Structure 1
């Protein structure tokens, strides 16, 4: 059986490597390693225009999709004015990832959202965000310092699909100053001990799960295993005619 092909959305940032200092499409290697370890093949998906057309073409070739971590989602996407601490959103990445989610819904492709990815999925569903978690909980432990992950204890609903992947409790790595407030069509399934929503999942047979933490950083890579396993069950013959790009 062919190894599942798993797409991962990417950053587009100014970056330095070797003698170069250029705009680059990139993603921390731990994401690809997590997919590889789970038996999949990672494929990076940089923002590509026209977004809807390109997303449809990309997803038709995928067996699973990861909406990766990254910058804040533009607050205009969920009808809010920017908080003073909401900065550096990327209109191209927002448009691209929302188009990828549209295409994944149409094609029935399994989806995993990571950190920003959970927030994008909530906004895609018509929900909104709390723009600065310290305003809610009174501290910065979810985002302790630039480039530093916090550790958060998470409780998972026992009856949830997520619990079947990682169990009912985890200490997770997190780095976020925003969180999901509303999530139409999704069920809340995990919370930090300060009440911040940490995971949500959609009902139905298709795997569609999002977590606020970074599972690629620790032992809860069961999420990536579940995505790859679900991708192995995706049959292109079951997709709409022409979806595989034939």
Structure 2
């Protein structure tokens, strides 16, 4: 098949868009998909070949769409299974502090960088901590030690405990419970404070006997969905002023995680 320029009549290739003799645009360019064989015959792609390409594209698109949907479903399920963390308007984490989540994902707590956190079966309980724990065990039913945060050289410590034997209590009931179950001579003051998400926590100032001398302590009762958390921050009376701000911030940072 010979193709000629309509302007100058010279021979051109069937695939040329412009005459290379006179430069005129060629109107007889074969449609997309047409090609010449070695004998100059125009070749038209078969419908089957076009259909195969179309089916491949559709199949690939469907597979990619399915994979994307599965990934989205897995992500949503993963996020739904994570405990809910709420903003804490009463605590701003100081520079250099670390925030941790206990292994059972029951709560979060922030600590100074040089403090040590222990939990689980490997907890080593210092004498002062053991003295405070013994008093709490006598006061609260089914008390369970969840972890201990310790300042360097035991300048201060925070016990995190819970009690499944006690259901969630109101602030008023908690205050009454503390005054009834803790030794009267240990209580200095009991007050109600605003907690997270319209909840109230009860704080009690205590003076407790330690293994090496008196301890000034602050107990914080935090209600959760179906239990009560009891936190106690303590320091030796003669050095408490040095570590008191850190102890109070640690207690403020505590937040139960909602399932």
User: Shared fold by TM > 0.5?
Assistant: no
* TM-score under structure 1 length normalisation: 0.28
Query: Of the two, which has the highest radius of gyration?
Result: 2
Larger relative contact order (C-alpha < 8 A, sep ≥ 6)?
A: 1
